Amino acid sequence: MAKRLLIELDEISKSWNNLNIKCSYPYHFKNSGIVSLREWLAFQIVCRKCEDYPCVHACRYDALERVEETGTNVRNDCLCVSCKSCAVACPFGVIYMEILPFLSFHCDLCEGRLKEKDVPICVETSQSAIKYGDFKEEPDKNIFQAGQVLVKVKPWKKELVSKKGEGQ
């Protein structure tokens, strides 16, 4: 089984200010692949996919778009001016301010740069918030496949149910 990244999304969001996760992708010297992964995963998994998408309507630059075919949001980082209005507009706090950088960030999963025993630098510098290995999808442990990565995140629907349960 190919080794894959396992991203502890809740953990990273919670302790982001105490993390200094590095990236080896030479896109540009400030590139942070994990920021682009966090944004993509937020729109894929954490976003409630609101029918009226207030986040998209909050963007004066038409930089945030709802892709009807997939029902997910995509941010055009060439149009985005990083004003954070979409983050403020989201009633569920899905869009973290730090995932809206002015610069474009990319992650290529260290394509062609890792030797046999190598580990991506983001894993080495993430204080275990990102892992690398023969992981597989385990929904009962809140581990889900998203594209070529695995993400550990408490599904918002499960969270809603548990909160409702606590309220009764």
Chain position carrying tokens 């009633």: 91
Q: Please, which residues bridge with residue 5 across strands?
A: 132
Q: Report the Cα 107 to chain-centroid distance in Å.
A: 11
Between 89 and 114, name the residue whose CB sits nearer to ligand SF4.
Answer: 89
x/- string (CB under 6 A) for ligand SF4, residues 58-77? xx-x-xx--------x-x--
Ramachandran category for residue 64: left, alpha or beta (phi over 0 → left; psi -120 to 50 → alpha): beta
50 contacts ligand SF4 (rule: CB under 6 A): yes
55 contacts ligand SF4 (rule: CB under 6 A): yes
Between 54 and 139, name the residue whose CB sits nearer to ligand SF4.
Answer: 54
90 contacts ligand SF4 (rule: CB under 6 A): yes
110 contacts ligand SF4 (rule: CB under 6 A): no
- Give the sign of the dihedral formed by CA 116, CA 132, CA 18, CA 96: positive
Distances in whole angstroms, Cα of residue 80 to Cα of each of 57, 60, 85, 122: 14, 9, 11, 25
Size of the site for ligand SF4 (CB under 6 A): 26
Q: What span, in angstroms and rounded, lies between the C-alpha atoms of 14 and 8?
A: 10
Interface region with ligand SF4, contact rule CB under 6 A, candidates 9-17, 47-55, 106-114, 117-125: 47-55
Least Cβ distance, residue 87 to ligand SF4 (angstroms): 7
47 contacts ligand SF4 (rule: CB under 6 A): yes
Q: What span, in angstroms and rounded, lies between the C-alpha atoms of 64 and 79?
A: 9
92 contacts ligand SF4 (rule: CB under 6 A): yes
Q: What span, in angstroms and rounded, lies between the C-alpha atoms of 122 and 128?
A: 10
Between 79 and 161, name the residue whose CB sits nearer to ligand SF4.
Answer: 79
Using CB under 6 A, list all residues that contact ligand SF4: 47-50, 53-55, 58-59, 61, 63-64, 73, 75, 80-86, 90, 92, 94-95, 100
